[in-house]
Amino acid sequence: MVENIKLSEREPESNSFKDYINLIRNNIIPIVLISLTGLVVAIIYAIKAPDIYKSSTVLKISKPQGNILDSPLIPEMQDFGSDRLVANEIEVLKSYTVRENVAKALTEDYKNANRKSLFKLILSREADKTKNGGSPVQSIANLADMLSKKVSIEQKRGLDIVEISVESPSAYEASVIANEYAKAYKDFSLRNSRLKLTQVKEFLADQRKEKQNDLLKAEENLRQYQQAGGIVALDEQSKALIDQLSKFDADKHAAEIELIVSEKNLSKYRDELKKQDPRLADYLESFVAEPYIKALQEQIAEQEIQKSIALSGSNNNASRVDKRVLADYDAKINSLKIQVEQKKAVYKAGILASSPEEVKQLTKSVMEEEIKSQGARASLQKLNSIVGSYEKKFNSLPSSIIEYARKERERAALEKLYLVVEEKYQEAMVNEQSEPGNVLIIDYGRIAETPSKPNRPLIVLIGLILGVGMGVGFAFVRNYFDNTIKTPEDIERRNINVLAWIPKIEGLGPGGNKELEFIVAKKPDSIPAEAYRALRTRVQFSKFDNDGIKTILVTSSAPSEGKTTSAINLAGSFAQANKKTIIIDCDLRKPRLHNLFKAERYPGFTDYVFGEVEFEQIIRKSNVNNLYYSTAGTIPPNPSELLGSSHFDDFLNRLKSEFDMIIVDSPPIIAVTDSEILSRKVDASILVVSAETTEADLMTKSIELLRHEANTFIGVLLNNFSYRAGYGSYYKYYYYYSRPSDGQKRLKGVSKNRVLGE
């Protein structure tokens, strides 16, 4: 007797590689279909996908070096701030301002283009044309938004190289956008680099125009004074005084202009430095305000003024002593400037030691402009003093010539000042134009000859891979949620005895030959017939008591699992073993035994139990030797009560006295209680499980119902087992018992039963 063990006691075994292979083989059809679907979709997409062309512009971004007149001949060998600089510039490239400039340029390019059909991305959609006043080109805002999506900006790793890439259905349009983007960014960067120089140039241009007008006005006043009968000439002493006064007056105005320019630059540098490091900006202001620096600047201004006085008093016949005096002034001025530079070097060493590269450059600019501004302020103070002393001498001239001298002085001073301003203006223009910027376009975007996208072979390959992956995934998901019994191992893992497994009967499916259902009689040499004979052997040896097994109940968990087919073939195999066997159709819900034997259902055993017919009338002989059957007969309204009655027990006892084996076909045990009642009246109960149909939970529940106090349950019969679908280890066993070529069965005794039943 089978030992009553808890069905959930054994732990489920882990899946092996062989199990996965079998899983794939069992689902090969859906896997192939899903894979082909993925492949077809990928092919259709690859065919219909539009060609996308790519064009790239390559830029080199370097640190601003100032204008070429101020740049060193040998640049620094190392630049540790370049990575951060390039990262900042990439953000500038992505800014709305640059994209807006590109959008404006693209709009102009479209207007000037001869072949407008070459543009695709910049054109408006039909829905947007009304918003744009019917213009075929998108609005500037929409174009700027489109550029943020279609333009890719990347830095080459470890290099100061930036690549601007554009993708478009038009190769020409892609190159135009890439080039316009590079040009717009270069112009934007150049304008920012020249901003300080441009401001200085514009200021000097205004001063130049103003001083020119003042000079013309002074010359006109002098001419009108002379025509009115005033003095037309001055003596040498007065003329020399006026020349000296006008020179110093012009120098004073030039110093004022230089101070204004220096303060403009200094204000800009200070604002930038305060954003970077406010404490450093305050520290630099304290450096310039140091008394020692101020004293040096005042001494330099003093020596330069003295030199100017010496030059104003000399002439072409100056002696060698005058040249030695000028050289002495130059030596003193250079010595004082060296002391200032030494002091600056000390401050630079302390300030710039741990500052970032950008802060270092900004700090140097602030320091230079601070020194320049302080020097201009000191020179202006000295010149004011000199001009004041000369004005006293000028006012001491005779009253008869003072008016003429004043007009001549004004003209001469304005002339000298205009020449100084003109010189500085020309210098500012050269500096502005010589500012190279920090952007160099290395490669302009070219019109691509072949599309960069789509990669059609790759799309097809990916589609195939995804299709296969989805197919295999479907198989695994299906298997995960599929709780049906598939193999004998699925039953054995639950500590349930497997009596045998019956392969699918070929030709028995829907629309097939119904006679093949009684396979042991129709094809006794077939593989399923051999499997039923193996079942017969296992049933005979399942109990070893004195009484043995005489009555066998065949039931299932649910309908259409093959219990009737299994019952009739089991009965036939016993009959072929020379045992007088009868099969009773106790499925009083949907009886079908009479259909298999092509007989009438009435009279049946129910009619005998009710006493309406004689016993001999319900026992019918089949075409198979030793095999008898009894149909259901009249279906009673209460089948469960009938099967549980003493009359049915008497009927069953009489059958035991006349037959060697009694096979009872019953309804599904889950649906009704008939099978549970019958299991208490028989010697053995067999549960038929259909492979890939019966759910494991239903099977477990059915076995629990059969394992009552009598415990007649002896094992499970796995029906419709498709060993060819993927279970090669079973197939080779069954192949051994396949139909022989010489009409002889190649059986080897016990191994037959062991292979087919275990």
Assign 405 a pLDDT band (cuts: 50, 70, 90). low
Alpha-carbon distance values, 663 to 44, 76, 550, 720 (Å): 61, 103, 8, 20
DSSP H helices in 116-194: 126-129, 140-150, 171-193
Higher pLDDT, 15 or 231: 15
Q: Same domain, yes or no, for 45 and 74?
A: no
> Which of 382-396, 404-418, 433-447, 580-594 ranks highest by mean pLDDT?
580-594
Contact between 736 and 756 under an 8 Å Cβ cutoff? The reply is no
What pLDDT sits at residue 32?
A: 92
Among candidate residues 412, 446, 481, the one where a domain is terminated? 481
Among candidate residues 194, 223, 238, the one where a domain is terminated? 194
What pLDDT sits at residue 320?
A: 44
Dist. CA 186–CA 184, nearest whole Å: 5
Flag whether pLDDT at 342 surpasses 70: no
Any domain includes 445 = no
Q: Same domain, yes or no, for 141 and 214?
A: no
Tell me the CATH number at 556. Answer: 3.40.50.300
Residues 6+ apart with CB under 8 A from 479: 23, 27
Phi, psi angle pair for 541, to nearest 5°: -100, 10
Q: Same domain, yes or no, for 248 and 391?
A: yes
Taking residues 422-441, report their average pLDDT.
70
Nearest to 369 by CA among 253, 254, 200: 200
What pLDDT sits at residue 300?
A: 72
Count of all residues that appear for the chain in the document:
758
Higher pLDDT, 757 or 648: 648
Flag whether pLDDT at 243 surpasses 80: no
Nearest to 143 by CA among 190, 181, 116: 181
Q: What residues does 583 pair with on adjacent strands?
A: 629, 663
Among candidate residues 149, 168, 194, the one where a domain is terminated? 194
Flag whether pLDDT at 61 surpasses 60: yes
What pLDDT sits at residue 580?
A: 95
Assign 756 a pLDDT band (cuts: 50, 70, 90). very low
DSSP H helices in 49-139: 82-93, 96-112, 126-129
> Following DSSP, what letter does each residue of 562-607 receive, concatenated?
SHHHHHHHHHHHHHHTT--EEEEE---SS--HHHHTT--S-S-HHH
Residues 6+ apart with CB under 8 A from 297: 340, 371, 374, 375, 378
Flag whether pLDDT at 536 surpasses 90: yes
Flag whether pLDDT at 758 surpasses 50: no
What pLDDT sits at residue 612?
A: 92
What pLDDT sits at residue 425?
A: 73
Taking residues 615-626, report their average pLDDT.
93
The mean of the pLDDT values for the chain is 77
Higher pLDDT, 74 or 731: 731
Any domain includes 440 = no
Flag whether pLDDT at 286 surpasses 90: no
Higher pLDDT, 632 or 546: 632
Higher pLDDT, 541 or 127: 541
Q: Same domain, yes or no, for 277 and 406?
A: yes
Inter-helix orientation angle 563-576/527-540, to 10°:
80
Flag whether pLDDT at 473 surpasses 80: yes
State the total domains in the chain: 4
Q: Report the range of poorest mean pLDDT among 4-18, 97-111, 647-661.
A: 4-18
Q: Same domain, yes or no, for 215 and 264?
A: yes
Taking residues 432-450, report their average pLDDT.
78
Q: Report the range of poorest mean pLDDT among 25-34, 111-120, 303-312.
A: 303-312
Q: Same domain, yes or no, for 565 and 464?
A: no
Flag whether pLDDT at 311 surpasses 80: no
Flag whether pLDDT at 317 surpasses 60: no
Q: Same domain, yes or no, for 247 and 186?
A: no
Any domain includes 439 = no
Flag whether pLDDT at 163 surpasses 70: yes
Assign 130 a pLDDT band (cuts: 50, 70, 90). low
Higher pLDDT, 274 or 739: 274
Taking residues 64-78, report their average pLDDT.
43
Q: Same domain, yes or no, for 31 and 96?
A: no
Any domain includes 426 = yes
Alpha-carbon distance values, 484 to 129, 210, 419, 688 (Å): 61, 101, 105, 13
Q: What's at 228, amino acid-wise? A: A
Q: Same domain, yes or no, for 57 and 69?
A: yes
Contact between 427 and 40 under an 8 Å Cβ cutoff? The reply is no
What pLDDT sits at residue 609?
A: 92
Tokens of 673: 């209680």
Taking residues 300-307, report their average pLDDT.
70
Q: What percent of the chain has pLDDT over 70?
A: 69
Contact between 140 and 98 under an 8 Å Cβ cutoff? The reply is no
Tell me the CATH number at 71. Answer: 3.30.1890
Flag whether pLDDT at 271 surpasses 80: no
Taking residues 283-306, report their average pLDDT.
65
Taking residues 641-670, report their average pLDDT.
93
Q: Same domain, yes or no, for 95 and 124?
A: yes
Any domain includes 442 = no
Q: Report the range of poorest mean pLDDT among 130-144, 327-341, 531-545, 682-696.
A: 327-341
Question: Cα–chain-centroid distance for residue 397?
Answer: 89
**CA distance between the termini of the chain:** 17
Assign 652 a pLDDT band (cuts: 50, 70, 90). very high
Flag whether pLDDT at 662 surpasses 90: yes
Nearest to 671 by CA among 589, 594, 552: 589
Higher pLDDT, 326 or 334: 334
Flag whether pLDDT at 435 surpasses 50: yes
Q: Same domain, yes or no, for 405 and 300?
A: yes
What pLDDT sits at residue 315?
A: 45
What pLDDT sits at residue 77?
A: 39
Question: Residue 715's domain spans which residues?
Answer: 488-757
Higher pLDDT, 389 or 113: 113
Q: Same domain, yes or no, for 393 and 525?
A: no
Flag whether pLDDT at 265 surpasses 90: no
Q: What percent of the chain has pLDDT over 90?
A: 28
What pLDDT sits at residue 247?
A: 72
Any domain includes 9 = no
What pLDDT sits at residue 618?
A: 93
What pLDDT sits at residue 402?
A: 64
Any domain includes 443 = no
What pLDDT sits at residue 76?
A: 41
Flag whether pLDDT at 432 surpasses 80: no
Any domain includes 12 = no
